[in-house]
Each structure stands twice: as structure tokens, then as C-alpha cells.
Structure 1
Amino acid sequence: MALKSKHKVDPTFNMSSMTDVIFLLLIFFMLTSTVVDPMALPVNLPKSKSNTYSNPVIKVAITDDLQYFFNGDKVSRKVIEPMLRNEIGKTETPTVSLYIDKSVPTEHFVEIAGIATSLKAKVSIATTPDN
């Protein structure tokens, strides 16, 4: 006597649910990656009422303990000018954005801004919005 099961189990695996989950994760990571600031340095920026945004080509940061960063890489003060000269020469309309901690003495800010303007670059100061 042959017994037959009333409930047949389908041995195939449906991938559509897994594909949906992977697609949603991909969208999530794409959206959150645009929110992350690539210049995430420990710099306490001064506040400003202005909300003008520029898309800088070159980023220079000075932290409160006077460490210099050029496009996110830690460098010494001595190499800032040659690196600026090299990067400014590569672009048509160079823009240098300065991320200077508000506790840094003004002389360091003026020195870097002076170097950038002497190389014919636009200089912008990064600030946090004052709400």
C-alpha cells in the first residue's frame, strides 16, 4: 500500500524576498554615505548667520592643538604651501575652504589664508549655522 502525502513541499527557494532586502540595504547605505562628512575632523567651528555654501576643491583644517590637515590627511605646517601650490595649479577656479577651530589664534588662520590668496585662489571659511 503506497501512502501519498497530502502536503507537498516545494524544494525550490524563492529569492525575490532576499533581493528586496538587499536592494533596500543598498539604498540605505547610498543615502547615508552622502550624509557623512569626509572632513570629519575634531574642529570646533565658529558660528555664523550666513548660510552660503561653496563646493571647495581644497580643504585645509587646523585643530585646537595646532595640527594641520590637508584634504583630510595630517601634514606638517611646512608642507602646506607646496601642497596648496600643487593642488591650485590643477584646477581652473581653485577654492580653498578653511576649517579652523575657533580656539586657534588668528595668526595661523591669516597665514594659511594669505598663502591661498597669494596663489590666486578663492578662500572660504567653514562655519556652523547659528540657529
Structure 2
Amino acid sequence: MLKRRNKISPNFSMASMTDVIFLLLIFFMITSTVVSPNAIKVLLPQGKQQTSAKPLTRVIIDKDLVYYGAFGNDKEQVLNIEELPGFLQSCAAREPEMYVALYADETVPYREIVKVLNIANENQFKMVLATRPPENR
């Protein structure tokens, strides 16, 4: 009589392998949220030469939402938002090729900035958005 050998099949449990895969998945999901920032960093170029200066009208909005306006090197004067179109038109009458520079405090809501941009767009003025207030204030 022939004796049969008992074949013992190895039992391999996939449970521990799936646990490891899920732990790795959770690890990579958590670290990927830490690695990618929520804001885009932009390095702006810096020029060494000044561009040809065109006549500039300044509109300044401070943190208290008070509007100031000045043409060229004139001193800033307090304006209402209703007075701004007339002020800009009078500056354009003095110099038709002027640019309007908007200086707004970083706490100013966007709707206030958009109001000034809309006024400039309606009157076809060239706008420049500035990041720092003028140094000679």
C-alpha cells in the first residue's frame, strides 16, 4: 500500500498586509496635507532702473476706509467715494496721459478696492495697484 504524504498548504493571512497598507495610506494622506501650503508664493522681479515716470495720481484708502487723493507731488486731500470721479476727471484734464495709483491698506475689504477700479474703468483711466504707500508722506 502506498502511503500518501499529507500536503500541508501554508496559510497566509492578508489581514496584516492590508493593515500595513492602510496605515501607509493614512500616513501619506496626512503628510501630503502638511507639505503643500494653502497659498501660492510668488517671487516678484526687482528692477534696477527706474522706468520713465508718467504723471501719477494717487488714491489712498487707509484702514479706517478714509479716501485720500493727490495729483503728482501735491499733498493728499480727504475725499468721499462720491467725490472721487470728479477728482480723477479734474486730474485727467490737467494731464491726459496720467496713471492712477491705488494704495490700499491690507485690511481694506475688496469691495472698496473694486469701487475705485470700477470708477477708473468707467472713465477709462489707466490703473496701477501699489503695494506700499508713498515714502514722502
TM bracket, shorter-chain basis: 0.5 to 0.7
Unpaired runs of at least 5, structure 2: 1-41, 71-75, 133-137
How large is the Cα RMSD of the aligned pairs? 2.4
Q: Quote the offset at 1:67 in angstroms.
A: 0.4
- The 5-angstrom pairing of residues 8-87 of structure 1 reads 49-51=44-46, 55=53, 56-71=55-70, 72-87=76-91
- TM-score, normalised to structure 1, is 0.54
TM-score by length of 2: 0.52
Q: What's the CA shift for 1:127?
A: 1.1
Seen in structure 2, the aligned counterparts of structure 1 residues 115 and 48 have a Cα distance that, compared at 3 Å, is: farther
**Hey, what's the Cα distance between the residues in 1 that align with 2:43 and 2:97?**
25
1:87-123 Cα deviation digits (max 9, x unpaired): 1122131200000111101011011111112212110
TM-fit CA distance, 1:49:
2.3
Q: What is the count of residue pairs matched by the alignment?
A: 82
**Which whole-Å CA distance do the structure 2 matches of 1:77 and 1:116 have between them?**
12
What amino acid is the match of 1:94? M
Q: Which has the larger radius of gyration?
A: 2
Mark the CA change 1:121 to 1:102 in structure 2 (over 3 Å): closer, same or farther.
Answer: same
CA-CA distance at 1:65 after TM superposition = 0.6
| Partner amino acid, structure 1, of 2:109 | P
Contact 1:88/1:119 (8 A) holds in 2: no
5+ long unaligned stretches in structure 1:
1-46
1:13-34 deviation line (CA, Å, top 9, x unaligned): xxxxxxxxxxxxxxxxxxxxxx
CA distance in structure 2 between the aligned counterparts of 1:83 and 1:113, rounded to whole angstroms: 14
Task: Look up the SS of the partner of 1:65 in the other structure.
Answer: coil
Task: Give identity over the alignment, percent.
Answer: 23
Structure with the bigger RCO (C-alpha within 8 Å, sep 6+) is 1
Question: 1:94 aligns to what?
Answer: 98
Would the alpha carbon gap of residues 63 and 48 (structure 1) be closer, same or farther in structure 2, given more than 3 Å must change?
farther
